[in-house]
Structure 1
Amino acid sequence: MIPEIGYFSLTLAMVLSVLLCIFPLWGAHTGNLRLMRAAPSLAIGQFVFVLISFAALIYASLTDDFTVAYVAYHSSSSLPWYYKITSTWGGHEGAILLWLVMQAGWTAVVAMRSGSLPWILRARVLGVLGFLGVGFMLYTLLMSSPFELLLPYYPVEGRDLNPLLQDPGMIIHPPLLYMGYVGLSVSFSFAIAALLTGKLDNTWAKWSRPWTMTAWGFLTLGITVGSWWAYAELGWGGWWFWDPVENASLMPWLVATALLHSLSVTEKRGVFKSWTVLLAISAFSLSLLGTFIVRSGIIVSVHAFATDPDRGLFILAFLAIVVGGGLTLYAFRVSQVKSEGRYKLVSREVALWLNNIFLVVATFIVLLGTLLPMIHKEMGLGSISIGEPFFNKMFAILLVPFAILMGIGPLLRWKQNKWAFLQNKLLIAAVASIVVTAGWLFLSYEDVAPLTLLATTLAMWIMFTTASDLYDKTLVHGSFIKGLKRLTLSYWAMVLGHVGIAFVIAGVTLTSAYSVERDVSMQPLDVVQLNEYDYRFEGVKSIRGPNYSGHAGVVSVLKNGSLVTKLYAEKRQYDIGMQFMTEAAIDAGFTRDLYLALGEQLSNGGWSLRIYHKPYVRWMWLGGILISLAGFMILGDKRYRTSRKSDEQLQPKGVV
């Protein structure tokens, strides 16, 4: 009965989504206010029924209802309850349903929080979101339903959740990532609505910016958690592999980052209007492209869900409609868009535009490196590999001008600057960056490569120039404390985001340059040394979990004879499927991680272990958290807390 309720609720949500697609758009076209007013109720109703459907799937999993094919394939009775909930998005069909929950949720929130918008624009935004909902609900109901039944013959036990997914990262990573992916549909909808309305002014950018910031914040946090999850779970000590599915999340993030900066310029200066709209269309288009890559079956990856080509063709067709329709409308309207502001070469506008270019070029590099091997193979030309060396080299080249501009940008004024006004500040920041970095690295490490020195100096450059701008902004008001109180949340978001980028650059650089690993064979009480730490193998003990058994290698870590920590690295065998999984042991610190993975037992009774010393690896994820917080911080800015107006105040002339 519960699965039937879930399917029926999803069908009702589909009906409401169709109405949401038609009524407000037709009402906006004909000037019928009654049809436009129906949009918020339809959006909220759609969300309620999608939520009921999702709750039905969670209930089926929690109650071990193996008559439901999805539950039988992705859960088991011995699975802990929190992983039973997680299993509802651990497979293809459930993940698509989670996407629908996010899509309907974003639509409902926009409906409830957009009361200050003119009804024509509000109706068109919700209508476009309704159209997107129709596409994904059709896909779910026709090709990816999680409510298919195995009656009359069904298993008495499920196949269990993939052991790779039985991790806390699985609980939080997909929802965060999907919140970001789907949130970009709001930016897309605002762009399409503005094109339909023909009003691409500063006000449109102001309305769109907080929604884009929120989606970008979730996407940043999702990517950060995903990197940490791969590092902690896979046992190889890596945090990014340039996997096609990892790239699928990075591409919309890069374009969304460019979009945020472009929205800022459009809102404040009235320029880059057409470019901003194109970025909004591109960001969500890349989210859909990522969905196609993950769910088409054209790649083999631990992240990939589907292997059904028909599903891939459906998503590809939907992608073509959304992207093609958006770009066609853009082509018809772009000639009507005119920038209002004027600016000189040395200005904040130019700095932000150049950084936009670098972000877009980086996106094209990732897109090329991701799609070219797939296209090459599908055309029957054989397999080619574009891997880590290619991406690392290209991004290293782009990093230098990008980081330099990121440091200069906040110090620049709108419209134009005199170079003499900047040169002393930039010279002081450059000297401070070089001196601090050189002192830090040469005192800490015997060998400092030129590229390591350069990249770390760029991170310090961003820190010092941001601090210089903060100092200037506070002194304008006479006193440092008084100046701090007058700074807007938007400004603090910029500071936090730039500091976060500096932490990411420094963390990536230092952990890549100075990480050390060692594969060893150890008997109980053997000791090996790695850097300043001694690792003493205490032996192996048996472990038993809720749905697995295995061994844990116990290693005492000592420094100068004193115990630092004990590491318990596990090798698990899951009861259902008899799959083996390695659970790394990590002693985390602000400046280093001690990382241990247990291998196989050897013929002489010893065990193989892999030991890593990872300096500053936590700085990457600290930076990611700071960047995501910057996205959420801007929501408190008073400029985006507009009052709700009555329907009469908002009613356009001639509307019935």
Structure 2
Amino acid sequence: MLIELAHFALILAFGMSIAQTIVPMVGAQKGWLGWMRFAEPAAVSQALLVAFSFAVLTWAFIVSDFSVQLVYLNSHTDKPLIYKISGVWGNHEGSLLLWVLILALFGASAAWFGEGLPNTLRARVLAVQGSVSVAFFAFILFTSNPFIRLENAPLNGTDLNPLLQDPGLAFHPPFLYLGYVGLSMTFSFAVAALIEGRVDAAWARWVRPWTLAAWMFLTVGIALGSWWAYYELGWGGFWFWDPVENASFMPWLIAAALLHSAIVVEKRETLKSWTILLAILAFGFSLLGTFIVRSGVLTSVHAFANDPERGVYILAILGIFLGGSLVLFALRADKMQAKGVFGAVSRESALLLNNILLAVSCFVVFVGTIWPLIAELVLGRTLSVGPPFFDAAFTPFMIALGLILPLGSILAWKRGVLGRAKVPLGVLAFFALACAGLAFAIQTGRSSLGPLGLALGIWIVGGALVDLALRTGRGSGVDRLGRLTRLPRADWGKMTAHTGLGITFIGVAGILAWQIEDIRVAQLDTPYEVGRYTFTLTDVQQLRGPNYVTTMADIAVQRGNGTPYTLNPENRFYPVANMPTTEAAIKNGFLQDVYVVIGEPQANGGYTVRVYIKPLANWIWGGSILMALGGLLSLTDRRLRVAAGASRPQSNAVPAE
């Protein structure tokens, strides 16, 4: 009965979203205050209804209700509880229900926290958000219903994909969806602004928190996915330029550009049209990512579904919202006239260059991702675009971005001069180059990638610290320290995020340039050396887990005369899913990881063992955490939570007759 109620609640939410789309939009056009205010209860009701549906589906997974087809196909009684819960979104239908839940929650949040918005803008934003909900409710109800019953309930399920039975991937999709769907709010603000024909500093102040929240969630989601791939898949990589990886990376890049361009609109009331376009494209790339993940047009180990029919629905949603908003943008962009002017050397110019680099790098990723599909459709050829293309085409733009980041942060608005930061930046540049020279002198027989990445990362981190120090003004050290503690949280958030980016740059360069790899057949109790470490395969056991059997190795590791320790890599086999997985054993360290994978037994009695020494691996995810933390710090700044300084215009609305 609960399942049927949950399905009915989803239908009611669909109807509520239709009303939320039409009534407030008509009210804003006519100036009817009552109709405009209908948007808030409609958004909240929609969120409550979807939350009920999602809670019921989650309960069905927890209690293993195999009369529900989705539970039968993605769960099993022997599965640990955390993976029963994560099984809710470890499939197409359940993940789509999570998508509409987050979409409804963002709409409700706009209703709860949007009191500072003008009535007409608030109504239009919620109406546009409602229209997005309409499309996805129709998609889930007509093509992807998660509440289908089985006529005869089986005794047990077929289990969840073993690769998804991992803590990192249990939380990876929800964070990604919070980012993907969060960008729907920036889209709604952009379309509402185009309808009203008005973009000003107050609009930028309102749209920035939503963009910042979406970018922050995307950062966490991408980092979790990268971390999962690093330790779960057994190949030791952190990024493969897989189409689904790129699907989340493209909106992240555009959201980062939107964050910086919104600052220019807020401070100088320029780049208005560009900012609106970025807000539309950010959500457009989110929809494109949904299409890639669920249509099956591009092959990926991460894909949720391989159904071209569903892909057509998503493509239609993408065409309607992206195409429609771009047409509206073309018709109304002339209303977004810029007011501020600025010189070539100014913060505006630096932020504009930042935007260009991020947008072009996103375009490079887009072309590399979609080119195999274009080649097959147009040329009739099967092509593969892999890491060599992306590394060569994408890296130069990131290097340029890293170089200008500290310079742009310290420049003044309108007309800037570098004089006041010449000394600290000069010292920083000398220190970064000296560290690069030292690293190049120490390494032997390797490329310059590591030293250059180290220098660039130090330049970015040091630049963030110099920028923060310059904001304290002049005076004694005690006075400046006091001013430092009183700086707005947004300044601290900016410094933390930029520091995180620099640390990630160092980590990526280190692991790519200085990694050591060794693959061999290891014999029991026969030590061998890799780098400065000695490895000994001491034992191999057959064990049983909750819902798998495993071959677990004991490998003793010792560095020089240090204390030895044991790593336990595994090969697991899940009988219900009839699928093997590789579980790497990793000794995490601040400066490097020791990474071991056990392979298949060999005819001579040994086992294939892969060993990696991965310098600075954890700096990649540590930097990502700092970037997300910087976004959170900025989000707690009151100036971003309240449209301070933006007076709410008097409403000309009249009650509907």
Shorter-chain TM-score above 0.5: yes
User: Do the aligned partners of 1:432 and 1:464 also contact (CA within 8 Å) in 2?
Assistant: no
Question: How far apart are the structure 2 equivalents of 1:110 and 1:603?
Answer: 64
Question: How far apart are the structure 2 equivalents of 1:446 and 1:21?
Answer: 64
User: Do the aligned partners of 1:595 and 1:612 also contact (CA within 8 Å) in 2?
Assistant: yes
Aligned counterpart, 1:85: 85
Q: Residues 467-488 of structure 1, C-alpha deviation per residue, up to 9 Å, x if partnerless? A: 2222222243652311212211
Flag the 1:477–1:36 CA change in 2: closer, same or farther, 3 A.
farther
User: Do the aligned partners of 2:439 and 2:451 also contact (CA within 8 Å) in 1?
Assistant: no
Spell out the pairing of 1:194-205 with structure 2 (5 A cutoff): 194-205=193-204
Q: Using the TM superposition, give the Cα deviation of residue 196 of structure 1 relative to its aligned residue in structure 2, in angstroms.
A: 1.2
User: Do the aligned partners of 2:202 and 2:643 also contact (CA within 8 Å) in 1?
Assistant: no
Please say if 1:39 is aligned against 2:39: yes
The residue matched to 2:520 in structure 1 has which SS? strand
Aligned counterpart, 2:308: 309
Q: Residues 289-342 of structure 1, C-alpha deviation per residue, up to 9 Å, x if partnerless? A: 000011111122111121221111111011111001111111111111111111
Q: Residues 372-417 of structure 1, C-alpha deviation per residue, up to 9 Å, x if partnerless? A: 1012113461101111001001122223321111121112111112
Flag the 1:402–1:374 CA change in 2: closer, same or farther, 3 A.
same
Question: How far apart are the structure 1 equivalents of 2:103 and 2:444?
Answer: 52
Spell out the pairing of 1:501-650 with structure 2 (5 A cutoff): 501-642=501-642
Q: Residues 131-182 of structure 1, C-alpha deviation per residue, up to 9 Å, x if partnerless? A: 000100000000001111221x343221100011010012210000000000
Q: Residues 429-475 of structure 1, C-alpha deviation per residue, up to 9 Å, x if partnerless? A: 211210123224534x2345233322221111112222222222224
Question: How far apart are the structure 1 equivalents of 2:653 and 2:604?
Answer: 89
Aligned counterpart, 1:449: 447
Task: Pick which of 445-454 and 406-415 moved more.
Answer: 445-454
Aligned counterpart, 2:430: 431
Q: Using the TM superposition, give the Cα deviation of residue 531 of structure 1 relative to its aligned residue in structure 2, in angstroms.
A: 1.2
Q: Using the TM superposition, give the Cα deviation of residue 76 of structure 1 relative to its aligned residue in structure 2, in angstroms.
A: 1.1
The alignment's TM-score, normalised by the length of structure 1, stands at 0.97
Aligned counterpart, 1:408: 407
Aligned counterpart, 2:220: 221
Task: Pick which of 234-243 and 408-417 moved more.
Answer: 408-417
Question: How far apart are the structure 2 equivalents of 1:243 and 1:364?
Answer: 16
Task: Pick which of 459-468 and 605-614 moved more.
Answer: 459-468
Letter in 2 for 1:128: V
Flag the 1:530–1:261 CA change in 2: closer, same or farther, 3 A.
same
Question: How far apart are the structure 2 equivalents of 1:407 and 1:565?
Answer: 43
Letter in 2 for 1:383: T
Question: How far apart are the structure 1 equivalents of 2:467 and 2:374?
Answer: 47
Q: Using the TM superposition, give the Cα deviation of residue 419 of structure 1 relative to its aligned residue in structure 2, in angstroms.
A: 4.8
Q: Give the unaligned 5+ runs of structure 2.
A: none
Spell out the pairing of 1:44-59 with structure 2 (5 A cutoff): 44-59=44-59
Aligned counterpart, 2:238: 239
Aligned counterpart, 1:653: 652
Flag the 1:348–1:517 CA change in 2: closer, same or farther, 3 A.
same
The residue matched to 2:88 in structure 1 has which SS? helix
What do you get for the CA RMSD once the two structures are aligned?
A: 1.7
Q: Residues 92-113 of structure 1, C-alpha deviation per residue, up to 9 Å, x if partnerless? A: 1111011011111111111101
Letter in 2 for 1:372: W
User: Do the aligned partners of 2:232 and 2:584 also contact (CA within 8 Å) in 1?
Assistant: yes
Letter in 2 for 1:435: A
Question: How far apart are the structure 1 equivalents of 2:577 and 2:61?
Answer: 19
Aligned counterpart, 2:471: 473
The residue matched to 2:568 in structure 1 has which SS? strand
User: Do the aligned partners of 2:534 and 2:559 also contact (CA within 8 Å) in 1?
Assistant: yes
Letter in 2 for 1:381: G
Q: Using the TM superposition, give the Cα deviation of residue 613 of structure 1 relative to its aligned residue in structure 2, in angstroms.
A: 0.5
Q: Give the unaligned 5+ runs of structure 1.
A: none
Spell out the pairing of 1:245-324 with structure 2 (5 A cutoff): 245-324=244-323
**% same residue:** 43
Task: Pick which of 210-219 and 369-378 moved more.
Answer: 369-378
Letter in 1 for 2:413: W
Q: Residues 63-109 of structure 1, C-alpha deviation per residue, up to 9 Å, x if partnerless? A: 22212111111111111111111111111111101101111111111
Flag the 1:643–1:414 CA change in 2: closer, same or farther, 3 A.
closer
Question: How far apart are the structure 2 equivalents of 1:413 and 1:344?
Answer: 10
Q: Using the TM superposition, give the Cα deviation of residue 425 of structure 1 relative to its aligned residue in structure 2, in angstroms.
A: 4.0
Letter in 2 for 1:473: R
Letter in 2 for 1:446: T
Question: How far apart are the structure 2 equivalents of 1:14 and 1:476?
Answer: 59
Question: How far apart are the structure 2 equivalents of 1:459 and 1:335?
Answer: 41
